[in-house]
Chains A and B, each alone.
Chain A
Amino acid sequence: MRVRISRKKLRDEVIARIEEISGEQISKCFQCGKCSAGCPSVDSMDILPNQIIRLLQIGEKDEVLASRTIWVCDSCFTCESRCPKGIDVAKVMEAARQIILRANVDKVKPYEIDEKTFEGLPQAGIVSCLRKFTG
């Protein structure tokens, strides 16, 4: 794949916001791949966690924001506990989700869910789900 890296893309405002919301410095990542190696959800992801970081490093925010990965990531922090550069990838994923949710685009629409779906589910699951997937 051919990627054009332009100064404009590298100074992208959204990527700066992701760094601000997550409190993580994207450029510290040296692409060792440990985050993806330990991630229990990679089977369901379209872009690997280390690739998400790489895309942000080169200014490709659109691919990141359109990915399935940022929603599949379930904040298990396995990547956080293993990153040799001390990057909390779970927080970067959260920041990417927040960029979308804060534009008033809910990933899960509670009012569209059939009430039966909630039957018997632990509150901890329901409240967590709505916190993670709605703005």
Chain B
Amino acid sequence: MKIAYYPGCTLKTTGTGLEMSAIAAAKALGLELVELERWNCCGTVHSLANDNIINNLAAVRNLIRAKESGYDRFVTLCSICYNTQKSVNNIIRNDEEKKGKINSFMYEEPDYEGDVAVLHLLEAIRDEVGFGNMAEKISKPLSSLKIAPYYGCLLLRPKEIALDSQENPTIMEELLSATGAQVVDDPYKTECCGTYHTVVDVDLVVEHAYRILSSAVKRGADAISTTCPLCHFNLDRRQKEVGKRYGDFKPIPVFYFTQLLCIALGLGEEPCNFELHYVDPRSLLAEKHLL
């Protein structure tokens, strides 16, 4: 089955491990992610100022691109893109006045009515493939791995965009369980990673990352599973700075959930780009006889 796919900028640079592993894993599950022919940056963070209408335009253009290619939905992988595209879609669907302003500002584009749905790949796998069917395709069960799922903020908050329970989401647990992995229950799974502060306030991110990572380590996790290239950067690459500040810190590999899927589906490390990780997960995978 073909499904439209909006990558966003980061998946083409630091997040190639997420993009390539997602495309490969989805294909093995019978979902062909077809990249939109034309797309632009969604603008990253959704503007929270009521009177800032201009920042919505980039995301609306992507939705129009999908519509003119004949799609009624598209899949995202990056949590920020998911959040922004869905938030903007909600504005078009629920705010007549803003919709009117946006459409008349973009007079060169056809009017957009909010009729393209924005999905995250987690939802697409759950609803189009089904975790039960997915489990049948697993050739290398991850049963020796203890994984702590990490959602961060933007798949769950604010309320209007939540793809699962805000306080105790379980969609990633269900997916990981279907790969055979042992899921570690971690209360820090919805805590913020420190996000864009990573550019100008590394110390603040180190504090966030240390709390999240050490909680997973303390609960016996071998690794963490994420969905977002910015969360991944803060939890993986910032372990360098975390290690410098906290002498007792024990590094822990951070996967994209799609990389774990690739391993479990027998696709090997090729689509995973593990060389981009700070804490290389390959030694763990080898130790568990998964590579």
User: Which residues of A are interface residues toward B (Cβ below 8 A)?
Assistant: 20-23, 40-41, 43-44, 72, 74-78, 80-81, 88, 90-91, 94-95, 98, 108, 113, 117-118, 120-129, 131-133
Contacts and interface: CB of A to CB of B under 8 A. Distances in A.
Nearest to B203: A44
Interface of B: 8-10, 13-15, 41, 43-45, 47-51, 55, 78, 80-81, 153, 156-159, 166-167, 190-192, 194-200, 204, 207-208, 211, 229-230, 233, 237
B43 to A, nearest CB: 7
A124 B230 contact: yes
Given A118-B199, A124-B8, A44 B45 contact: no
Contacts of A95: 48-49
Given A122-B230, A131-B43, A74 B194 contact: yes
B204 A132 contact: no
A123 B45 CA distance: 12
A122 B191 contact: no
Contacts of B14: 120-123
B51 A77 contact: no
Contacts of B237: 120
A23 B91 CA distance: 14
A80 B160 CA distance: 11
Nearest to A94: B48
Contact of B44 (A21, A108, A124): A124
B157 to A, nearest CB: 4
A77 B153 CA distance: 7
A133 B200 contact: yes
Nearest to A23: B50
Contacts of B78: 124
B39 to A, nearest CB: 14
B80 A22 contact: no
Given A21-B51, A40-B208, A95-B49, A126 B199 contact: yes
B45 A131 contact: yes
A135 B222 CA distance: 43
Contact of A124 (B9, B51, B157, B158): B9
A81 to B, nearest CB: 5
Given A76-B153, A81-B166, A123 B195 contact: no
B30 to A, nearest CB: 29
> Considering residues A72, A121, A124, A133, which has the most beta carbons from chain B within 10 angstroms of its beta carbon?
A124
Contacts of B13: 122-123
A106 to B, nearest CB: 12
A22 B229 CA distance: 28
B50 A129 contact: no
B233 A81 contact: no
Given A41-B192, A81-B157, A120-B237, A125 B230 contact: yes
Nearest to A108: B200
A125 B197 CA distance: 8
A21 B196 CA distance: 22
Contacts of B229: 122, 124
A125 B47 CA distance: 15
Given A117-B199, A122-B13, A122-B230, A98 B45 contact: no
A133 B197 CA distance: 10
> Considering residues B81, B190, B200, B204, which has the most beta carbons from chain A within 10 angstroms of its beta carbon?
B200
Contact of B196 (A41, A44, A72, A125): A125
